[in-house]
Copies of this chain bind each other. A is one copy, B any other.
Amino acid sequence: MNTNLSIRHLRAFAEVAYCGSFTQAASRLHLTQSSLTATIKQLEQSVGLILFDRTTRRVLLTLQGEQFRPVAEKLISDFDTAIGDLQAIAGQQQGQVAIAASPSTISRLLPPVIDDYRQQYPDIAISLRDDSAGQIEQRVLDNDVDFGIGANHSGHPELNYQPVLSDRYGVVVPAAHPFMGESSIQWQQLIQEELLFLSADTGIRAQLNQFRQAGQLLLSDQKAILEVSNPAGLAALIRQGIGISVLPALAASTESFKELRFIPLIEPLMRREVCLVSRKGRSLSPAASTLLSLAREHFISMPLPPYLESITPEHPANSSTTPTA
Interface residues of A, Cβ cutoff 8 Å to B: 1-3, 5-8, 11, 46-50, 53, 55, 60, 62-64, 66, 68, 71-72, 74-75, 78-80, 82-87, 89-91, 95, 143, 146, 281-283, 285-286
Contact = CB atoms under 8 A, between A and B. Distances in A.
Given A55-B281, A64-B285, A74-B78, 6 more contacts: A1-B84, A6-B6, A48-B87, A49-B86, A63-B146, A71-B85
Total copies of the chain: 2
Contacts of A143: 63, 66
B82 A71 contact: yes
A49 B95 CA distance: 12
A5 B6 CA distance: 10
Instruction: Label chain A's interface by main secondary structure.
Output: helix
A46 B11 CA distance: 18
A49 B83 CA distance: 11
Contacts of A60: 282
A48 B6 contact: no
B64 A75 contact: no
B146 A286 contact: no
A220 to B, nearest CB: 46
A49 B286 contact: yes
6 contacts: A2-B80, A7-B79, A62-B282, A62-B283, A64-B95, A75-B78
A79 B49 contact: no
Contacts of A281: 53, 55
A165 to B, nearest CB: 26
A72 B63 contact: no
A47 B86 contact: yes
A263 B47 CA distance: 53
